């Protein structure tokens, strides 16, 4: 995104801490890789007048996202949990200010239904005000004069809301941890139709690496040093073929 538009949707501290900058030698052409799809979506209606009857305007964004994650070294920095490029599904709504809380609750419900359908344990956490961004330090209401009605009336901006439905890499980590067994991975019911052969179980085909975080966690959890149980060396025909075909899938 051009800096002109990124500056309207991203916090200033994000420019140095999170965003990747793309330059070509001409400052006016400076661009930034998006950290979330809500950033370009929010620019769709830049400088546009919206009519109340057209609201709410809803978007679902699926995109690659890029974040430098400065200062997060050593924090959940294993596997694909925290990476600099990841895929994400985002909900975005432009709505009447009086109805923004309804839209907020609606997006939360969509997110909850998504995780409920997968059978993944979850909780909803209310973020304290001190952890929110500092977009507003002072606010003025601009009231316009309406001569026919003989009064000032407030001009209103629509409210823009966004909600992350799913960051795919972290969702995969969560599914693998919650549905793995000693012998393999039990595929959640809603996902089976997307796998070749609609398999419900994918066996492990090789032993867990000795230096993996999962192996380390398993030993600590058991409270004793114990050789990890070796997973089956061979998979059943159907699941093995499915695993091979999954590698060839492209989205």
pLDDT at 73 over 80: no
What are the angstrom distances between the C-alpha of 150 and each of 39, 140, 147, 188, 228? 39, 22, 5, 63, 80
CB-CB contact of 176 with 170 (8 Å): no
The arithmetic mean of pLDDT across residues 209-235, rounded, is 48
CB-CB contact of 233 with 205 (8 Å): yes
On whether the pTM is more than 0.85, the answer is no
Please give the Cα distance from 153 to 135 (Å, whole number). Answer: 25
Closest CA to 29 of 7, 2, 56: 2
Please give the Cα distance from 125 to 2 (Å, whole number). Answer: 34
Distance between start and end Cα atoms, the chain: 24
Burial class (CB in 10 A: 0-12, 13-18, 19+), 88: buried
pLDDT at 148 over 80: no
pLDDT band at 63 (very low <50, low <70, confident <90, very high): confident
pLDDT band at 207 (very low <50, low <70, confident <90, very high): confident
pLDDT at 202 over 60: yes
pLDDT at 75 over 50: yes
Name the token pair of 33.
């890789």
Q: What is the pLDDT of residues 8-42, one digit of tens each?
A: 776 656 666 778 888 877 777 788 888 888 888 88
The distance of Cα 198 from the centroid of its chain, to the nearest Å, equals: 26
Q: What is the pLDDT of residues 120-132, one digit of tens each?
A: 777 777 776 666 6
Domains and CATH numbers, the chain: 3-173 (3.30.930.10), 181-248 (no CATH)
Name the token pair of 224.
């004793």
The distance of Cα 83 from the centroid of its chain, to the nearest Å, equals: 12
The arithmetic mean of pLDDT across residues 91-119, rounded, is 85
C-beta neighbour count of 90 within 10 angstroms = 22
C-beta neighbour count of 177 within 10 angstroms = 11
In this prediction, residue 152 carries a pLDDT of 52
pLDDT at 70 over 70: no
In this prediction, residue 186 carries a pLDDT of 92
In this prediction, residue 143 carries a pLDDT of 46
In this prediction, residue 158 carries a pLDDT of 59
């Amino acid at each position: 995104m051009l800096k002109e538009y990124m500056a309207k949707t991203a916090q200033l501290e994000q420019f140095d801490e999170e965003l990747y900058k793309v330059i070509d030698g001409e400052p006016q052409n400076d661009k930034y890789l998006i950290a979330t799809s809500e950033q370009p979506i929010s620019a769709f209606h830049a400088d546009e007048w919206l009519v109340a009857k057209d609201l709410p305007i809803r978007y679902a964004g699926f995109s690659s996202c890029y974040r430098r994650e400065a200062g997060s070294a050593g924090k959940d920095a294993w596997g694909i949990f925290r990476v600099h490029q990841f895929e994400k599904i985002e909900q975005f709504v432009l709505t009447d200010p009086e109805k923004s809380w309804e839209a907020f609750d609606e997006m939360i419900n969509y997110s909850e239904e998504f995780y409920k359908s997968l059978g993944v344990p979850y909780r909803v956490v209310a973020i304290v005000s001190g952890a929110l961004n500092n977009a507003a330090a002072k606010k003025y209401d601009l009231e316009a004069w309406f001569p026919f009605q003989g009064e000032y009336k407030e001009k209103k901006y629509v409210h823009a809301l966004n909600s992350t439905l799913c960051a795919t890499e972290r969702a995969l980590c969560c599914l693998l941890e919650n549905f793995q067994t000693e012998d393999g991975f039990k595929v959640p019911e809603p996902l089976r139709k997307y796998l070749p052969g609609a398999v419900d179980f994918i066996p492990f085909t090789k032993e867990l690496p000795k230096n993996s975080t999962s192996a380390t966690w398993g030993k600590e959890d058991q409270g004793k040093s114990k050789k990890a149980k070796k997973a089956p060396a061979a998979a059943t025909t159907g699941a093995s073929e499915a695993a091979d075909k999954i590698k060839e899938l492209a989205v």
